[in-house]
Structure 1
Amino acid sequence: MAHTATYSREGFGLSARIVNFFERIKEANALRAQFNQTYSELQSLTDRELNDIGVRRCDIKDIVRDHVYCS
């Protein structure tokens, strides 16, 4: 069985963990902002425009979530 050692940039100290915590908060806020912008843009489209691109209004939230968080 092979074992690999992975080193992260977080380090082991408390200060490194605190910095990492705030970086994750910033990243989460950026993703949330992207989600909100994309969601509002799709919601602003008419039903006809959504039909043209093959999107149902009830699927917008799922589509945006997949696009932002799973990409």
Structure 2
Amino acid sequence: MDTLKAALRRRAIYRQTVQELNALSSRELTDLGIRRSEIRSIARDAAFGA
């Protein structure tokens, strides 16, 4: 059961990260050095580790 809870938490972190980064303007992303095409990869790293 703990494994399932951990997986659900990681998935929630992934979804939240994608949502927050997608909400940023292109200018804001550029200021952060992030391209839109990198958002899912960045979220995956944040949630599941690099």
TM-score where L is the length of structure 2: 0.92
The CA RMSD over aligned residues, in Å, is: 1.0
Between the two structures, name the one with larger relative contact order (CA 8 Å, sep ≥ 6): 2
Could you say which structure has the higher helix fraction? Answer: 2
Of 46, 59, 62 in structure 1, the residue corresponding to residue 41 of structure 2 is 62
Equivalent of 1:39 in 15, 18, 22: 18
Equivalent residues in 2 for 1:1-71, closer than 5 Å: 22-70=1-49
Question: Aligned residues: percent identity?
Answer: 40
Structure 2 segments unaligned to the other structure (5+ residues): none
Runs of at least 4 residues of structure 1 off by over 6 A?
none
SS at match of 1:55: coil
Q: Is the 8 A contact 2:13 2:46 kept in 1?
A: no
Which consecutive unaligned segments of at least 5 residues does structure 1 have?
1-21
TM-score by length of 1: 0.66
Shift of 1:67: 1.6
Which string of whole-angstrom CA distances, capped at 9 and with x for unpartnered residues, describes residues 13-43 of structure 1? xxxxxxxxx1100100011011111110000
